[in-house]
Chain A
Amino acid sequence: MKQWALNQSLNHPKRTIIISLILTMLLSSGLWLVQMEDDMLKLLPDDIESTMTWEAVQEEFGNTNLMFVAFGRTGESVFNTQALSDLWTITNEIESLAEVDEVISIATLNRMDSDDGFMEVSDLQPAKDLTDVEVDRIRTYLEKTPDMMRRVVGTNGDFLNVVVRPVIDVASDKFRNNVVNTCNQNLQDYKVHFGGEVYLTGSIPMLMRGDVIRLMRIGLVVMILIMLSSLRSISAVAMVLSVIVMSLTSMMGFMGWIRHFTQLDIFYFSLMNTSMPIILLTIANSDGVHVITKFFSKLRLSGNVKESVEGTMNSLLLPIFLTSATTVVAFLSLSFAPIRQMMGYGITIGAGIIWAWILSATFLPSLIILKKWNLSSSAISKSNFIERVTDKFGSIVIHHPKKVLGAGVVVLGIGFWGLFLLNVEVNIITFFKPGTEIRDSLEFMDAEMTGTMDLQLRIQGDIKSPKTLNDMITFQDFLEKHPSTTTTISIADVIKQMHRTVMDDDPLYETIPDTRDKVNNLFTLYSISGDPDDFSSLVDYEYKTGLVTSLMKNMSTKKIVTFVDEIKAYASKHINSDLSITITGMLVIFNDLVHLLVKSSFISISVSIILIAIMAAVAFKRFHWGIMAVVPLSGAVIMNFGLMGVFGIHLSHITAILSSIIIGVGVDFALHYISQFRNLAARGVPDSEISQQVIHEVGYPIVLDAVSNMSFGALLFSVFLPVMHIGGLMVFAMVSTSIGTLTLLAALVEIFKKKLRQ
């Protein structure tokens, strides 16, 4: 097989190139079938408790994932005819959107009035155009009902709040875009702020993807410049780039085809797939750089192109195959992640890696054969700066292996210690840098309005029982003591309001009635004078399940955990034991999801390392080579997470998942090193020279590969923290795995070279 592939490239280069191009085009044609999916909610696993509770809540009470729109003019009271007229218009415009189930604002709320034994449920805002007297009447009513006021008017009275509830199963990006566009068209004379989880989940993917594409372009240019300055050959760089581009388009095309044929939603291109092109780019680049640099080094010695290509491929086919196979395994291990889409991610990137390997093993050598190389060019005849530095560095490592290993072990020890300091922490607001429009909006909503997040308590029991309703009130009082809670809403609030209204608007009766019959009478009264659908977001049809919603300011996952624990402790201590209380909401689900992802990422990393060790041991026919192969990447993983712990950088789902980059590239460097050592040992290179020669042969491509990929450190300049993490992780992965290979692995191999040669 190996010989056949080599024969195709060496003896039929044009045919090989044409076939490669045709196959690539066929695969890439699936690009048009790729479907984008920007709905982050579809990524949620459906088998964790908070998600199941959340789904039950959606089923019973409709979509609870709300969006908030605040508009007004700073310092100007909203209680004027123009503002309320505009509120009427925007409320109706938003209500008319197909993605919208309900809009809550002054324009849609009801008022309950009592006058001389007369009870009336009527519109709080009776019409679009109001008189000053009618505006005053609305203000007076809201001042009498401060809970209601808090939900629809900002704390300074200068912003109106519009709460928008999407229909169930709507795509959050589509919903968000339509609501935002409607507001921008109708509220041009006002300052407008948006908030709510559905707004964030609808905004992030689109904005983040745009940012990644912009910064990736910069990274790609920097990468090309680095490679050009190092390889000093435009043809060589173009050849590597052609492999990269063909691998990328093939991978994306494969994604389109497989989605088309399987119709599985795991093959949609979602937010998490944004990192896929970057990862494949680094891997395809690695294959190409190794082939080209090895070819240059052989050509420099032999002067014969065909012979050099043959020699290059003979020594690289196995390591490139192995690096590709192990990386595929690493990515397929993502199938164990709790998010189903990760399986699609692993399969797709796996296909891309395999195609990159095939192209590097056939298409690239064919291109090299066809090119007429100038043997006297500096690219071929002279070593470059990186080669010389790498040789010098290698010499130090080889001459002081024990000291290098000792230093490495100390550094690893620090990293290991840091692992115990790691914190899982995500705060959505910090996804956005201060000063950005979204960050400003979110901070405004937290400071002036009801916040941007919510938490739901699903209470199962006899909802008409005064005891249950009083428990709800007690719970709400407890929730409202938390500094992040802005207000709470439940059916108990409505009952209190109705009770007061029935009792001639006496404030003393703004309480839960003392008997079940009275509570029931109030429900009956409302059903005759108002629309019972008004309660559908608060209590289920059979009055067996109620919902307490706590509107919150933005919270970090760590604070959510503490708060949820406090709520559970409070419930078990103070609340009627007949009630079943479960807590959910996007805050809780997000927290659960992040923890699950982090946990599963660690499992995935461990499984990958073990599988890679086994594969390397089998390929190199020695157990110890399996161990050696995973030393640099294990060290890099420990350092990555350990240093995050030491420097107080919180572990998030993004950093955890993207650690697969370390696995993907880290193992490549080690396998190239080991393979070269075995080649030289087989050729009888003496002990005294073997390590130096290995570093001379593979050190340069490893460093060039790492340095060129570090150009994606450009992502560090993103406005989104998760994208910055990707950039930071790229840089760190390249530094740690290349240095790990050229220090830890090199030192170990040098110390144990006699035993390893056996």
Chain B
Amino acid sequence: MINKYFIKSPISIGLGTLTLISAMTFAQTGYEVAKSVDERLEPKDMKTDMTMVLTNSKGQSRTSTLRTVNVNGGEKQMLWFLSPADDKGVSFLKIEHDDKDDEMRLWLPAFKKVRRISSSKKAEAFMGSDLSYEDMTNRNLDENDYELVKSEEIFEGHTCYVLKTVPKSVAESEYSSHITWVVIDGLYPIKEESYDRTGNLLKTKDFTFIKLDGYYTPIEIYVDNVQKNHNTRLTFTNIQLDTEIEDDLFQEKNLKRLPRD
């Protein structure tokens, strides 16, 4: 699900390496880099277990583990809470639509009810984390302006593009800009700084990727809301890609059934 064009989903970020070769052979504009990243190959679907650790300014933490399944870079997604015990059985279904509001449904086992939910606020946090709904929705390529700040910079041992993204007003973004370090050899992000509407740093995001089944896949995402002094660490394990998940799975009735391993 996450990321507009970089983090398509914390669960399914597929970055095709082959598409990037041409991008590296000649000087590019910011838009071209963004487009290259957006057009990279991704796995068709992904299954993974995700551990989410939220830590507040006093160092207190909340940890949840979830099983997630998604297709098409997070356009359709389901997740089931495995722990803590209080949350076990709660499950969530999201289906993104281009022409209308996203569908979101939550199964509340204690009430034995499915509730459709909606948040009109893009900036609102998802499940108490430091990722907003905007962070988790694919960035529309044409709703942003791009500037290639640096065509090459060594960052944490990687040769990176430094790309500045400025959302247009049509995007109705909570941010004024993002600065992203994109690894040239793989076209995946390793670091992003996001600035609020007043231009102050709001969040820093760190990504760890591995290459799995030919895809660059995230295994850890760390988001620090520097203004709230609150952070979120997402760790992905048991990652399975291209397992032929069928569209039929993404139905309300399946929320009540926790998938087998």
Q: With A516-B86, A541-B56, A542-B60 in contact, is A502–B108 under 8 Å at CB?
A: yes
When distances are taken between beta carbons in the complex, the residues of chain B under 8 Å from A121 are 117, 119
The listed residue (A517, A533, A542) touching B109 by CB distance below 8 A is A517
* B120: interface (CB < 8 Å): yes
Given contacts A119-B117, A122-B120, contact A464 B58 (CB under 8 A): no
| Beta-carbon contact of A528 and B108 below 8 Å | no
Q: Considering the complex, which residues of chain B in the window 90-149 have a beta carbon less than 8 Å from any beta carbon of chain A?
A: 90, 92, 104, 106, 108-111, 113-121, 124-128
Q: Which of A530-553 contact B (CB under 8 A)?
A: 530-533, 540-542
A515 to B110 CA separation, bound complex (whole angstroms): 8
Q: A502-B115, A542-B60, A542-B62 are in contact. Are A525 and B120 (CB under 8 A)?
A: no
Question: A529 — which chain B residues lie within 8 A by C-beta?
Answer: 104, 117-119
Which chain B positions have C-beta within 8 A of A520? 86-87, 110
Which of B110, B127, B228 touches A528 (beta carbons < 8 Å)? B127
Query: How far apart are A40's CB and chain B's nearest CB, in angstroms?
Result: 27
The smallest C-beta distance from B176 to any residue of chain A, in angstroms, reads 16
Is the CB of A430 closer than 8 A to any CB of chain B?
no
A117: shortest Cβ distance to chain B, in Å? 6
State whether the Cβ of A120 lies closer than 8 Å to any Cβ in chain B. Answer: yes
Determine how close the nearest CB of chain B comes to the CB of A515; give it in whole angstroms: 6
Whether B111 contacts A530 by the Cβ 8 Å rule is: no
The answer to whether A117 and B120 have CB atoms under 8 Å apart is: no
CB pair A123–B120 under 8 Å, yes or no, is yes
Cβ–Cβ contact A531 & B115, under 8 A = no
Q: How far is the CA of A123 from the CA of B124 in the complex (A)?
A: 12
**Contact yes or no, B120 A119, CB < 8 A:** no
- The verdict on A177 contacting chain B, using a C-beta distance below 8 Å, is no
Interface string of A463-505 (1 = CB under 8 A from B): 0100000000000000000000000000000000000001100
List the B residue with the shortest CB-CB distance to A517. Answer: B110
Q: Is the CB of A521 within 8 A of B110?
A: yes
Does A518 touch B at the CB level, under 8 Å? yes
- Residue of A at shortest CB range from B60? A541
Q: Is the CB of B114 within 8 A of A525?
A: no
- Closest-by-CB residue of B relative to A499 is B111
CB contacts under 8 Å to B, within A704-725, are none
Complex CA distance for A515 and B120, rounded to whole angstroms:
30
Which A residues touch B113, using CB under 8 A? 117, 502
- Bound-state Cα–Cα, A503 to B115, Å: 10
Within the complex, the shortest CB–CB distance from A611 to chain B, in Å, comes to 47
Q: Are A525 and B106 touching (Cβ within 8 A)?
A: yes
Q: How far is the CB of B241 from chain A (nearest CB, A)?
A: 26
Chain A: which residue is nearest B127 at the CB level?
Answer: A527
Determine if A533 and B110 form an interchain contact, defined as CB atoms under 8 angstroms apart: no
* Pair B120/A530 contact, Cβ less than 8 Å: no
- The answer to whether B108 and A531 have CB atoms under 8 Å apart is no
Residues facing A in B40-64 (CB within 8 A) are: 56, 58, 60, 62
The reply to whether A117 and B116 contact each other, CB–CB distance below 8 Å, is yes
Q: Does A524 contact B (CB under 8 A)?
A: yes
Contact residues in A for B120 (Cβ distance below 8 Å)? 120, 122-123
Q: Which residues of A contact B119 (CB under 8 A)?
A: 120-122, 528-530
The minimal Cβ–Cβ distance linking B66 to chain A, given in whole angstroms, is 11
User: Is the pair A531, B124 in contact by a Cβ cutoff of 8 Å?
Assistant: yes
Q: Tell which of A120, A513, A541 touches B117, judged by Cβ atoms closer than 8 Å.
A: A120
What 0/1 pattern do residues 621 to 639 of A give for CB contact below 8 A with B?
0000000000000000000
CB < 8 Å neighbour of B115 from A119, A513, A533, A542: A119
A464 touches B86 (CB 8 A): yes
Instruction: Please determine whether A521 and B127 come into contact, CB atoms closer than 8 angstroms.
Output: no
Q: Taking A518-B111, A541-B56, A541-B60 as contacts, is the C-beta distance between A528 and B118 under 8 angstroms?
A: no
Contacts of B111 in A (CB 8 A): 502-503, 518, 521
Q: How far is the CB of B219 from chain A (nearest CB, A)?
A: 24
Residues of chain B within 8 A of A524, CB atoms compared = 81, 87, 90, 106, 108, 127
Assembled-state Cα–Cα distance A518/B87 (Å): 10
Asked whether, in the complex, the Cβ of B109 is within 8 Å of the Cβ of A118, the reply is no
A502-B108, A520-B110, A521-B109 as given contacts; A533 in contact with B118, CB under 8 Å: no
Chain A 196-214: CB-based contact to B (< 8 A → 1; otherwise 0): 0000000000000000000
| Separation of A518 and B112 alpha carbons in the complex (Å) | 10
Inter-chain CA distance A542–B84, complex, in Å, is 13
Verify B115–A117 contact, CB threshold 8 A: yes
Residues of A505-526 at the interface with B, using a CB-CB cut-off of 8 Å, are 513, 515-518, 520-522, 524-525
Indicate whether A528 sits within 8 Å of B62 (C-beta atoms), given known contacts A502-B108, A518-B110, A520-B110: no
Q: Which residues from 8 to 63 on chain B have a C-beta closer than 8 Å to any C-beta of chain A?
A: 56, 58, 60, 62
Closest chain B residue to A503, Cβ basis: B111
A532 contact from B86, B90, B128, Cβ within 8 A: B128
Q: Is B126's CB under 8 angstroms from A528's CB?
A: yes
Q: List 10 A-B contacts (CB under 8 A).
A: A120-B117, A120-B119, A121-B117, A121-B119, A515-B110, A518-B108, A524-B81, A525-B117, A529-B104, A529-B117
Interface residues of B, Cβ cutoff 8 Å to A: 56, 58, 60, 62, 81, 86-87, 90, 92, 104, 106, 108-111, 113-121, 124-128, 228
